[in-house]
Every structure is written in C-alpha cells, then in structure tokens.
Structure 1
C-alpha cells in the first residue's frame, strides 16, 4: 500500500510540475505577444515545450498574426494610393477650372443682355463652389502626403480668433447669419499660428454654410485652450456625430456639395499640434470644440 501511495505521490508531483511548465509557456507566449504589440515587431511566437496541442496553438496564433500583418500592409498601400489619387485629382481639376473662370471673366466684360448676365452669375457661383471643393481637396491631400514643419510658439488664441472673425464679417452678413462673440481675457496656447488660422477659417466656413441661425463663438481656458463654435442646424437627428470628422461624410446636402472635407482638415491640423476636436449635438445645436495645449 505504501508503495502505491508513493507511486501516486510521484505521479501527482510530475503532473503538477508539468502543469507548472505549461503555465510558464503560456505566460511566455503572453509576454511575447505584449512585446510584439509594444515594440511593433513582426517576430513570431515560440515555445520551448514539446506539446502537440500547445505547438498547434502557437502555429495558429502565428498564422493569425501573419494574416493580420498582410491586411495591415494592404490597407497601408490602399491608403497611400488613395492619398495619391486625391492629390492627382485636385491638381488635374485646377487647370481646366482656371480656364473656365478666365472665360467667364472675359464674358462679363462683353455686351450681354440682362438674362445672359443672370445666367453667367449662376455659372460663376457654381464655379466658385467647385473651386472651394478643389481647394479642400488640395489642402487635404497636402496634409496627408507631407509632414509639414510645425512651428510651435506662444499664440494669443483669443486675438487670433478675433482677427479671423473680423476678416470674415462680410461672409456672415452675406449669408445673413448673426455672429455672437464676446472677446474675453487672452488665452495663450502652444501651437502653429498658420495651422490654427486655417482651423478657425474652416470652422467659420463650416458654420456659415450649415448654420440655421446665430453662430456663437467662444474662446475659453481650462486645462487646455478651448475654441467652440455653436450653431443651430437643420435636422440634427440626421447628423452622425461619430462620423462628422470623417473625410467625405455629409450630414446634409450642403455639406455634400463641399465634399465634407473641411472638418476633416480641422481634425488633422489639431491632432498634428497634439490637440483634439470633438462634436456634440444638444437639441438643435451643434457644438464643435477644438482643444490645444496651453502655453507654459
């Protein structure tokens, strides 16, 4: 009896040891996966223990990792081709559009009837819309295909926004969109002045095009510099906040005509300066908030 008990104890000890080794191998696999994720390496997972089932599991994991890597590379290639396509399209469209606008200007200088001038004005309006779309294409393609030199410095965000709004007063008046802006104490951020200016201009253009009433602009300071554009919108339930900053997303027909690139550009620029952009619907009000690091 003592002999059998001794054999059972030995078997139990061996099994416990084997289980311990299996656990060590599983822990090793987990650590290898974690290192792969953190270091962005393509090294395969390996085990030292001769176990048919464990080896088969490792083989399957490596196959999945390889398939995922192939998908990632394919996605990167498709993204690169898409960026190049946007750049080529925007460049190819500019030349004929310039010619069209040139001929329109020549026609304006000629003798035209009142009806012809009305029709020419409609054509000029559509060509200007097309020019805006192409400019957005070109800017978006530039931001995607280049690594712009970001010149960070201490910027008076309040003053910059004030200047941009004053420069755009005509746009607000022509669109009959009242502006509400109260200049407060200066808020200083660490950012690129040109990029911030482009952000503000795009937000102004977006609000003028899509607002259904008064446009409210605020510059605040918390742990970050905050710029907010708030305006009523038509059919807010049709706007997908989660997709608002996606390229080419259009929540309404007007945004669709402009290609839905303006807010995508805002997002790209803000993130390049370690900032962020969010949007929120409150009733019939759309709030777009840009945050930027405060200047030290």
Structure 2
C-alpha cells in the first residue's frame, strides 16, 4: 500500500510538471486504493473538461468582440458621412448646433469602437512584438509632450518627475500605445493634476498618479479587468483601456499593478529592465 501511494504521488507530480493527461493506474488490487484512484481520475477528467470548456468560451468571446467591433464601424462611417454632407448644406443656427452635438457623440462612439477593435486585435492576432533596448524615460516624455494640448483642453496639468534615464527591453510601438491609454485614462477620470515618473527598481517602471473622484467606488483589484468601470451609470468608456495596457505589458514580459491611497490612484506598468551599457 505504501508503494502504491508512492506511485500515485509520483504520477500526480508528473502530471503537474509535464502537463500530461496520464490517468492513475494501480498494480495492487485493494478496494480502498482502487476507489481512491478512480475518484482521483474522475476529478482530473472533470477538471480537464472544465478547462477545455473555458478555452472554448474564451475563444467564442474573442470572436464575438472582433465581430462586434467590425459590425459597429460600418454604420458609424455612414453616420459621419451623412453628417459631413449636412454640414455643407444651408442650416439654421439651431440646426447647426444640433448637428455639432450629434457629431460630438459620433466621435465619442468612434473612440469606444476603436478600443473594441484594438482589444479584439490584441486577443486574436497575438502579434510577435519586436523587443529591443529603448530609452523608456525619453519615450514616455515624448508621448507626454505630444499630449500637452489634450491635458490643457481638460484643464489638467501634468508634471514629469525628472530622474536618470531608464532603459527597458520592450517594443517601442507597444510602449507608445500603453502610454497613450494611460494618458486617456487620466483625461477621462482624473479629478486633479497628473504626476508621471519613470524609475528603475527590480524592473523598469512607468508610474501615472492622479487624484480621483469617488475613490470609494473604485475596486483596485479589478481595475485592469476588461469592461470594468468604476461608475457604471455615467461612464462613457468601455473599460478596455487599462485591459489593453495589461495585455501589452504582459506580451513584453511585464506586469501591471495599481494602488489607491488618500484619493490618489497610482497605476504602474513594469517592464524588463535593460542595462544601459548592454
């Protein structure tokens, strides 16, 4: 019996280490041990079926998001086209005002659809990112500088904390998309000025800090989950911006985390650190 228990543990360890599907087999006829082995095999089979079903549902979800993003683009393009035709015509001041309101909402819808499209692309295409040594400090600073007008339009000030250059092994295009999404998140949800810092710890870190309204409504443990929004009643976002940030960071071997203290939200993106002399 001791030998059979040893073999059971050995097989289970092998399954965990090598991700095999080998069932538990016994050489000794013992009612209790055979019942134990049968129950273990049943649990393993049920777990495998649940995993396969989860993968099937995830694949279906990805396809659904991709189809929705494509289907929404076509009518929106037509709407904007007709709005442009109307704008060229003779309109009263009231009609022109109503048209401008409609155009504003169409533009907001366009941004939401682009988020859907980008998220669907990242989930389905699984692009191979070209990782190289980049000056993370300079790249983040350039992205912030290009977005100064956006901050000013929303009455926000952005402060970049100066430090020594930090180098990371990452994709330049992916980092730009990450920073753009972090900027968009600040513009949409910040209740005060924004503080940006790039620093070197165990990893290269991009930190965005800003005060937020109704901080008690924010679930910090789910802030990177897809479709998560703190205020579901009034939110104009898809809740995909920070999910895209997490996806891109993980594809580069990095990670994301967030903290909320005294009404200040700190979103951090960690990327593999690259020695400046390498």
Q: TM-score with structure 2 length normalisation?
A: 0.96
1:250 aligns with 2:229: yes
| Cα gap change, 1:63 to 1:237, in 2 (>3 Å) | same
- Whole-Å separation in 1 of the counterparts to 2:133 and 2:261: 33
1:12 matched residue in structure 2: none
Residue deviations 1:120-140 (CA, integer Å, cap 9, x gap):
121111111111111111111
- Whole-Å separation in 2 of the counterparts to 1:47 and 1:191: 50
Match of residue 138, structure 1, among 105, 117, 123: 117
1:175 aligns with 2:175: no
| Cα gap change, 1:125 to 1:276, in 2 (>3 Å) | same
Instruction: Give the CA RMSD over aligned residues.
Output: 1.3
Larger-Rg structure: 1
- Whole-Å separation in 2 of the counterparts to 1:288 and 1:226: 10
1:72 aligns with 2:51: yes
1:184 aligns with 2:155: no
Residue deviations 1:228-278 (CA, integer Å, cap 9, x gap):
000011111111111111100111248842110000000000000000100
* Segment drifting more, 233-242 vs 265-274: 233-242
- Whole-Å separation in 1 of the counterparts to 2:35 and 2:265: 53
Give 5+ residue unaligned stretches, structure 1. 1-21
Structure 2 contact 160–196 (Cα < 8 Å) conserved: yes
| Cα gap change, 1:232 to 1:110, in 2 (>3 Å) | same
1:51 matched residue in structure 2: 30
Please list, as runs of the form range in 1=range in 2, the aligned pairs for 1:99-138 lying within 5 A after superposition: 99-138=78-117
- Whole-Å separation in 2 of the counterparts to 1:38 and 1:136: 38
The 3-state SS of whatever aligns with 2:33 is helix
Q: TM-score with structure 1 length normalisation?
A: 0.90
Structure 1 contact 162–183 (Cα < 8 Å) conserved: no
Structure 2 contact 161–195 (Cα < 8 Å) conserved: no
- Whole-Å separation in 1 of the counterparts to 2:49 and 2:159: 52
- Whole-Å separation in 1 of the counterparts to 2:46 and 2:15: 15
1:30 matched residue in structure 2: 9
Match of residue 230, structure 1, among 205, 209, 213: 209
Query: Displacement of 1:182 after TM fit?
Result: 3.0
Which aligned segments of 4 or more residues in structure 1 are displaced greater than 3 angstroms?
Answer: 253-256
| Cα gap change, 1:256 to 1:36, in 2 (>3 Å) | farther
* Segment drifting more, 207-216 vs 41-50: 41-50
- Whole-Å separation in 2 of the counterparts to 1:269 and 1:38: 28
The 3-state SS of whatever aligns with 1:213 is strand
* Larger helix proportion of the pair: 1
1:281 aligns with 2:260: yes
Structure 1 contact 249–256 (Cα < 8 Å) conserved: no
Give 5+ residue unaligned stretches, structure 2. none
